């Protein structure tokens, strides 16, 4: 079975495959003929799929000039109502086995509402119950703790938004070409990002192996990266991890600060960069281990900071800034001796039925 690191190494190849086929994957399947004026997009997802949606959300909203909402499928299916015919609905489950997502899609179809399901598994229950399926454009990820699939979900959502923007004439050709050029440049630079990330992880893995708690802080597109950091570090390292939005952390969670916390800022060098710097000034008075991962070059680096060397729109940084976080989580999990090919609690799915392996008869 491939490891998380193996799948991270495959991301340049997977990105290029999606870019080569995005028209066939998405443009030919998204029908806006019944929508008079697009009011909003609602994305239903959990776990890494939700984290990816948060990573894509700022650029989606910027491109389409509409709000983009991310909802928990269980909450939506059991307690909320969606009746706007001018809203586009998407359900994401890479493996296509998430009970709550499948249940939600079934409800939409039962009420004759359109919802697009994004998955990589054509044999999955989600694929089989859906009436509008979008393929992620990558093979099924064998590793249960997804990395490449998370990243591809972000790319897919951005490309879907570019396509919708063309269909609704929200995006002109010049803007479309500019963003496509930036995405292609990021794809070309992914091997360099992986190389720099790997060197950074190799330097710091022992330190994070000793960490009692890791807090990751992002804003804009990197809020999704911080959330994914919490998810992956918790899943693989099996230690306390938190992923917070910058202002969210500043409004309460900072009061639970411990002097031995390890804090990672995921800095897209965007609108809130100065706010993040102010928070670091405060944190450095009380915490020894504060580091920053920067999207591109930065002056006044600390010894353990990381520059990934990619200049782009801050809203595209989620396409590559999770790479060092995924690699760090993986390598620390290996230092701790965790076998990621085996479930820690094999009875969990059997008891909770959180995953559906086949369509109910």
Domain that holds residue 221: 190-335
Is the same domain home to 13 and 140? yes
Q: How many domains does the chain have?
A: 2
User: Does any domain span residue 342?
Assistant: no
Domain membership of residue 246 (yes or no) is yes
Question: Which of 186, 208, 226 finishes a domain?
Answer: 186
**Two structure tokens written together for 325:** 């976080």
State how far the alpha carbon of 1 is from the alpha carbons of 147, 206, 310, 342, 355, in Å: 14, 25, 31, 11, 21
- Same-domain status, 144 and 291: no
82 and 195: one domain?
no
Beta partners for 258?
none
- Order of strands, sheet of 262-267, starting from the edge strand that comes earlier in the sequence: 240-245, 213-218, 262-267, 289-294, 306-307
Q: Is the dihedral of CA 311, 315, 318, 324 positive or negative?
A: positive
- Average confidence score pLDDT of the chain: 94
Based on the fold, state whether residues 98 and 157 are members of the same structural domain. yes
**Token output for 259:** 């002097």
Q: Are residues 37 and 172 in the same domain?
A: yes
pLDDT of amino acid 342: 75
Q: Are 183 and 22 in contact (CB under 8 A)?
A: no
pLDDT score at 299 = 87
pTM of the model: 0.95
Note every long-range contact of 252-259, with CB atoms under 8 Å and residues 24 or more positions apart, other chains counting: 254/279, 254/282, 254/283, 257/283, 257/286, 257/287, 258/212, 258/213, 258/287, 259/286, 259/287, 259/288
Quote the tokens at residue 78.
Answer: 């059991």
When pLDDT is cut at 50, 70 and 90, the band that residue 1 belongs to is: confident
Of 156, 186, 216, which residue sits at a domain end?
A: 186
Same domain? For 200 and 290 the reply is: yes
CATH, residue 116: 3.40.50.10490
Same domain (yes/no): 137, 207: no
Contact 291, 321 (CB under 8 A): no
- Residues 214, 119: one domain? no
User: What pLDDT sits at residue 358?
Assistant: 57
pLDDT in tens, 295-341: 998 888 999 999 999 999 999 999 999 999 999 999 999 999 999 88
Do 145 and 234 fall within a single domain? no
Domain membership of residue 287 (yes or no) is yes
DSSP code for 115? -
Is residue 38 assigned to a domain? yes
Please determine, for residue 360, whether its predicted confidence score (pLDDT) is greater than 60.
no
Residue 357 domain flag? no
CA gap 59, 141 in Å, rounded? 26
* Residue ending a domain, choose from 155, 186, 217: 186
Does one domain contain both 75 and 147? yes
Residues 123 and 201 in one domain: no
272 located within any domain: yes
Q: Considering the domain boundaries, does residue 349 fall inside one?
A: no
CA-to-CA distance for 304 and 290, rounded, in angstroms?
Answer: 9
What is the CB neighbour count within 10 angstroms for residue 205? 16
Residue pLDDT, tens place only, 25-84: 999 999 999 899 999 999 999 999 999 999 999 999 999 999 999 999 999 999 999 999
Q: Which of 148, 199, 219, 155 is nearest to 307 (CA)?
A: 199
40 domain residue, yes or no: yes
Is 198 in the same domain as 330? Answer: yes
């Amino acid at each position: 079975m491939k490891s998380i690191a193996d799948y991270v190494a495959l991301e340049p190849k997977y990105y290029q495959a999606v870019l080569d086929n995005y028209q066939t994957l998405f443009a030919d399947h998204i029908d806006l003929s019944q929508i008079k004026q697009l009011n909003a997009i609602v994305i239903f997802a959990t776990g890494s799929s939700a984290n990816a949606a948060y990573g894509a959300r700022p650029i989606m909203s910027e491109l389409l000039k509409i709000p983009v909402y991310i909802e928990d499928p269980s909450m939506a299916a059991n307690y909320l109502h969606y009746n706007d015919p001018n809203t586009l609905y998407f359900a994401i489950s890479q493996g296509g086995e998430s009970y709550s997502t499948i249940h939600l899609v079934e409800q939409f179809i039962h009420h004759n509402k359109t919802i697009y399901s994004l998955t990589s598994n054509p044999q999955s229950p989600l694929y089989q119950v859906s009436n509008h399926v979008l393929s992620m454009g990558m093979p099924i990820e064998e590793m249960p703790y997804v990395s490449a699939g998370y990243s591809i979900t972000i790319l897919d959502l951005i490309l879907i938004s570019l396509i919708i923007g063309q269909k609704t004439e929200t995006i002109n050709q010049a803007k479309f070409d500019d963003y496509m050029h930036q995405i292609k440049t990021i794809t070309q630079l992914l091997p360099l990002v992986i190389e720099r990330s790997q060197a950074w992880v190799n330097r710091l893995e022992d330190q994070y192996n000793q960490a009692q708690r890791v807090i990751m802080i992002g804003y804009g597109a990197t809020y999704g990266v911080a959330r994914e950091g919490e998810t992956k570090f918790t899943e693989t390292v099996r230690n306390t991890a938190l992923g917070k939005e910058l202002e969210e952390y500043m409004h309460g969670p900072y009061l639970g600060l411990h002097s031995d916390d390890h804090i990672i800022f995921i800095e897209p060098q965007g609108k809130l960069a100065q706010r993040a710097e102010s928070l670091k000034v405060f944190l450095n008075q009380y915490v020894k281990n504060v580091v920053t991962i920067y999207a591109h070059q930065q002056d006044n680096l600390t010894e353990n900071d990381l520059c990934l060397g990619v200049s782009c729109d801050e809203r595209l940084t989620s396409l590559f800034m999770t790479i060092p976080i995924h690699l760090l989580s993986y390598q620390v999990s290996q230092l701790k001796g965790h076998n990621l090919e085996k479930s820690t609690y094999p009875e969990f799915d059997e008891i909770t039925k959180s995953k559906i392996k086949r369509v109910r008869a």
